[in-house]
Amino acid sequence: MRREQDFLDRLRARVVALETAAGEAVSAALRQDVISAQSRLERDVMVAEQSGLLAAFASGEEGLCFGRLVFQDGGDHHIGRIGIRADDDERTPLVVDWRADMARPFYLATGHTPMGLRRRRHITTHRNQVTALHDEILDLEDTERSGYEGSDADAVLLSALDAARTGRMHDIVQTIQADQDRIIRAPHQGVMVVEGGPGTGKTAVALHRAAYLLYAQRELLARRAVLIVGPNAAFLSYIGQVLPSLGETGVLLATPAELYPGVVATGRDTPLAAAVKGGAAMADALAAHLRDLQRLPEQAALVIEHEDGVLLLDRQIAAAARERARAAQLPHNLARPHFAFSVIDQLTAQLVERIGADPYGGPNLLGPDDQAQLGKAVATSPAVHAAIEELWPLLTPEQLVADFLADPTHLPHHEAEAIRRPDPSASVPPQEPDWTPADVALLDEAAELLGDDDSARRAAEEARRQQAIAYAQGVLDLSYGSRTLEFEDKDEEDSEVLAAHDLIDAERLADRQEELDHRSAAERAAADRTWAFGHIIVDEAQELSPMLWRLLMRRCPTRSMTLVGDPAQTSEPGGCGSWDAALTPHVGDRWQRVVLDVNYRTPAEIMDVAARIPQATDPAYTPPRSVRSTGVPPRAEHVADTAALPAAVARVVAEEQRALTGTERRLAVIATPEHHATLLAELPMASAATGSLEVTPDLTQPVVLLTPGQAKGLEFDAVVVVEPDGFGANELYVALTRATQRLAVVHADTLPHALAPALTEPTRTRAAI
């Protein structure tokens, strides 16, 4: 242990030096000009690596070194959360990154397949002190002993699983299990579905897979970034620390509601509306609605007053133009010039016919120049433009979706009624639409149907560039105003110190600043709807609607994806439910499914009760096998009426907190939203997201109040479920499987049918209320 401590001390000294160097390297790289795409890529890769190092160091000392591998051929390597090299000429590895091939036997070697190992050591540290060693001998001929053999290597795993929760997910690099390792290191191409019941480590595996891919495919992924989609903001803050602690920052974390840049989806849909909006039929309905907006004149013809006489835009002209525009097979806004040119040509022909007609029946009297002149006048006529706008309007995605929702066509009546809402731009004064999460996929679909009309974007870019030039001019003016005049009194103008204003004009300065786009690839991706990610990871993927699958597939043309989820936990009304239904339309049968079946979170006593929920509808449902048991069965408290519920919950919370050993423990109360106000009155210390100011509950607080939806993917030492009869079956399954130690159910209504027998005497304690 002393030798390992000495090693750790040396490692720490090296980390301090590296931390300073990495900080300096990042600031220097960001100051540096990048001229070519190649140098920008190199800079991106370098900045990603060095900021990753900084993030990994910032997340603490734990796990800097957690293992050691002694090979039969004499090789001897320490393993850590990130790779660290010595400051010598060879840059000798002090600690090998857990993702390196050399580290693999740490996770996979067995007595049967030792992978060249003699001995594997687990090193446990706490605040820079080595606190325990566990040695495993893998070469049976090896007779040397350290004194730390024989102890149960599973002890390291079990102590990690028993540890108090902090409200933040931690990395599992020290204890990745073999079946998890195979998923984490699977090749990045193709679609991989990781399925498993509650607590089987799906999220942990997905995050470590992201870290592995960023390591193994550094160049590709530093450029294209990785997108991780999680169900809600609370979940993203729960998992947000894992990748930085593994030295990875090139990742964009987003909820599905955040996937359309520029839109913050704060509105709410009814469950039926969300299901309708998420349905696959919506893509066709929206496309058909857009075709309806490509109109023909309602009367016989649109009459256009023009300086050379009246023009008649009749149905025939409009139909011919529409046909030509549709034949171009372009998105609506991009096809619009085809429509416009056809209309203009036909109206010009009308004028030419009228003005140049030979009264004696001979050929038209107008020459090509006259005709071109007339064409120009038609093309620039505001009245003609207004007519074109009426028949083939230029639309933004927001306008198209708002128009569709105000009058949802091409849908069965009851579905249309479920999603109908007034067009906010039609109100006086016009309002910003209150977009809902389900609208996000519609907006994205609309953007595809309309096409990226980059004239608007280019105009915005130019406006931004002009602003940058104005800013640069301001900088130059300042630099001129504050020029150094220290030698002026000697009347020697030349001796002025050269400043920016002497060397460069505003436009060039603005251009140079343009090149210095300091955003990382992940930040650039967040602002760009058309960004193609290098890899996408979706957690709780069972919740995604068909429309969201369409959106995500567009963001990943290479279809390099890891999808983790559990169909038994589906609770979103539009959720796809089956992997086949979700994936076949996009990748056919070219996806593979792997299953995780060991539950690392929920003790056996709790899992036995929780599993009865899915088993009530599917008796063949097999829950994942819990690795731990605590000897503490879940308990139920029945109160006489709903009014007594909050006080009973507060008492149970206090009891559960006392029952948890250790000081820093986390407890969640999970209840449907209508109970939150009364519960908060009795639980003033609880963090909740019901107030408008607090968007997500603070999961690091000792007590957190959550809705079943917010609890998705999270875990706590103890959980109190309130009035479970109000939960949907899958929501209840999620809620009951969030605890690592203790579970209590408090109810005034009857218990759900499936739970009642499991929670009755003798394990059930009755409240004396």
Ligand X SMILES: Nc1ncnc2c1ncn2[C@@H]1O[C@H](COP(=O)(O)OP(=O)(O)OP(=O)(O)O)[C@@H](O)[C@H]1O
* Residues that constitute the known binding site for ATP: 196-203
Binding of ligand X by 103 (CB under 6 A): no
Binding of ligand X by 709 (CB under 6 A): no
Which C-beta is closer to ligand X: that of 51 or that of 626?
A: 626
- Interatomic CA distance for residues 534 and 507, integer angstroms: 35
Which C-beta is closer to ligand X: that of 99 or that of 202?
A: 202
Residue 764 DSSP label: P
**Half-sphere exposure of residue 386, counting CA atoms within 13 Å on the CB side?**
8
Q: Which residue in this structure is represented by tokens 């949907």?
A: 728
Which C-beta is closer to ligand X: that of 228 or that of 366?
A: 228
Q: In Å, how far from its chain's centre is CA 282?
A: 23
Binding of ligand X by 199 (CB under 6 A): yes
For residue 111, give both structure tokens. 């007595």
* Distance of closest approach, residue 683 Cβ to ligand X, in angstroms: 24
* Distance of closest approach, residue 3 Cβ to ligand X, in angstroms: 26
Binding of ligand X by 538 (CB under 6 A): no
**416-455 footprint of ligand X as x/- string (CB under 6 A):** ----------------------------------------
Residues annotated in the binding site, as ranges? 196-203
Pairing state between β 93-97 and 117-126: unpaired
Binding of ligand X by 203 (CB under 6 A): yes
Which C-beta is closer to ligand X: that of 227 or that of 521?
A: 227
- Interatomic CA distance for residues 355 and 9, integer angstroms: 95
Binding of ligand X by 172 (CB under 6 A): yes
* Sole window of 96-104, 153-161, 244-252, 404-412 interacting with ligand X (rule: CB under 6 A): 153-161
* Position among 656, 715, 723, 731 found at the interface with ligand X (CB under 6 A): 715
Which C-beta is closer to ligand X: that of 203 or that of 249?
A: 203
- Interatomic CA distance for residues 20 and 27, integer angstroms: 11
Q: Is 260 left (phi over 0), alpha (psi -120 to 50) or beta?
A: beta
The residue nearest ligand X at its CB is 201
* Position among 50, 51, 200, 333 found at the interface with ligand X (CB under 6 A): 200
Binding of ligand X by 180 (CB under 6 A): yes
* Sole window of 137-145, 194-202, 437-445, 700-708 interacting with ligand X (rule: CB under 6 A): 194-202
- Interatomic CA distance for residues 591 and 561, integer angstroms: 9
Q: Are 593 and 567 in contact (CB under 8 A)?
A: no
Binding of ligand X by 710 (CB under 6 A): no
* Sole window of 78-86, 174-182, 355-363, 391-399 interacting with ligand X (rule: CB under 6 A): 174-182
* Sole window of 7-15, 28-36, 176-184, 407-415 interacting with ligand X (rule: CB under 6 A): 176-184
* Distance of closest approach, residue 170 Cβ to ligand X, in angstroms: 6
Binding of ligand X by 175 (CB under 6 A): yes
* Distance of closest approach, residue 216 Cβ to ligand X, in angstroms: 20
Binders of ligand X among residues 466 to 525 (CB under 6 A) are: none
Which C-beta is closer to ligand X: that of 200 or that of 348?
A: 200
End-to-end CA, the chain: 56
C-alpha distances (whole Å) from 454 to each of 140, 390, 460, 647 are: 68, 21, 9, 59
- Interatomic CA distance for residues 282 and 288, integer angstroms: 10
* Distance of closest approach, residue 169 Cβ to ligand X, in angstroms: 6
* Position among 244, 534, 713, 752 found at the interface with ligand X (CB under 6 A): 713
* Listed residue (712, 764, 761) closest to 738, CA to CA: 712
Binders of ligand X among residues 558 to 617 (CB under 6 A) are: 566, 600-601
Q: Are 188 and 216 in contact (CB under 8 A)?
A: yes
* Distance of closest approach, residue 656 Cβ to ligand X, in angstroms: 19
Position 521, amino acid: A
* Distance of closest approach, residue 689 Cβ to ligand X, in angstroms: 18
* Distance of closest approach, residue 576 Cβ to ligand X, in angstroms: 16
User: How many residues at the interface with ligand X, by CB under 6 A?
Assistant: 22
* Listed residue (763, 734, 748, 753) closest to 610, CA to CA: 734
Element (H, E) at 284: helix 281-293
Which C-beta is closer to ligand X: that of 159 or that of 760?
A: 159
Binding of ligand X by 708 (CB under 6 A): no
Position 43, amino acid: R
Binding of ligand X by 161 (CB under 6 A): yes
Query: What single string gives the DSSP state of each residue in 69-121?
Result: EEETTS-EEEEESS-EE-SSTT--EEEEETTSGGGHHHHH--SSS-TTEEEEE
* Distance of closest approach, residue 455 Cβ to ligand X, in angstroms: 45
- Interatomic CA distance for residues 212 and 171, integer angstroms: 12
Binders of ligand X among residues 736 to 755 (CB under 6 A) are: 737
**663-702 footprint of ligand X as x/- string (CB under 6 A):** ----------------------------------------
Binding of ligand X by 733 (CB under 6 A): no
* Position among 119, 202, 208, 635 found at the interface with ligand X (CB under 6 A): 202
C-alpha distances (whole Å) from 571 to each of 437, 568, 584, 707, 730 are: 15, 9, 21, 12, 6
Give bridge partners of residue 192 from the DSSP assignment: 562, 592
Binding of ligand X by 236 (CB under 6 A): no
| Burial class of residue 267 (count of CB atoms within 10 Å of its CB; 0-12, 13-18, 19+) | middle
* Sole window of 191-199, 361-369, 499-507, 651-659 interacting with ligand X (rule: CB under 6 A): 191-199
* Position among 176, 234, 400, 538 found at the interface with ligand X (CB under 6 A): 176
Which C-beta is closer to ligand X: that of 200 or that of 436?
A: 200
Which C-beta is closer to ligand X: that of 444 or that of 540?
A: 540
Torsion of CA 430, 433, 434, 435, to 10 degrees: 180
CB atoms within 10 A of CB 170: 19
Give bridge partners of residue 186 from the DSSP assignment: none
* Sole window of 64-72, 175-183, 300-308, 514-522 interacting with ligand X (rule: CB under 6 A): 175-183
Binding of ligand X by 198 (CB under 6 A): yes
The alpha carbons of the chain give a radius of gyration, in whole angstroms, of: 33
Binding of ligand X by 125 (CB under 6 A): no
* Position among 70, 84, 204, 670 found at the interface with ligand X (CB under 6 A): 204
* Position among 196, 279, 575, 724 found at the interface with ligand X (CB under 6 A): 196
Query: What single string gives the DSSP state of each residue in 342-398?
Result: HHHHHHHHHHHHHHS--TTS-S-S--HHHHHHHHHHHHT-HHHHHHHHHHS----HH
* Distance of closest approach, residue 293 Cβ to ligand X, in angstroms: 43
Which C-beta is closer to ligand X: that of 157 or that of 236?
A: 157
Q: Are 436 and 267 in contact (CB under 8 A)?
A: yes
Binding of ligand X by 245 (CB under 6 A): no
* Distance of closest approach, residue 222 Cβ to ligand X, in angstroms: 26
* Sole window of 171-179, 278-286, 319-327, 612-620 interacting with ligand X (rule: CB under 6 A): 171-179
Position 569, amino acid: Q
* Angle, vertex CA 172, rays to CA 166 and CA 177, nearest 5: 140
For residue 588, give both structure tokens. 């056919």
Residues that bind ligand X (CB under 6 A): 157, 160-161, 172, 175-177, 180, 196, 198-204, 566, 600-601, 713, 715, 737
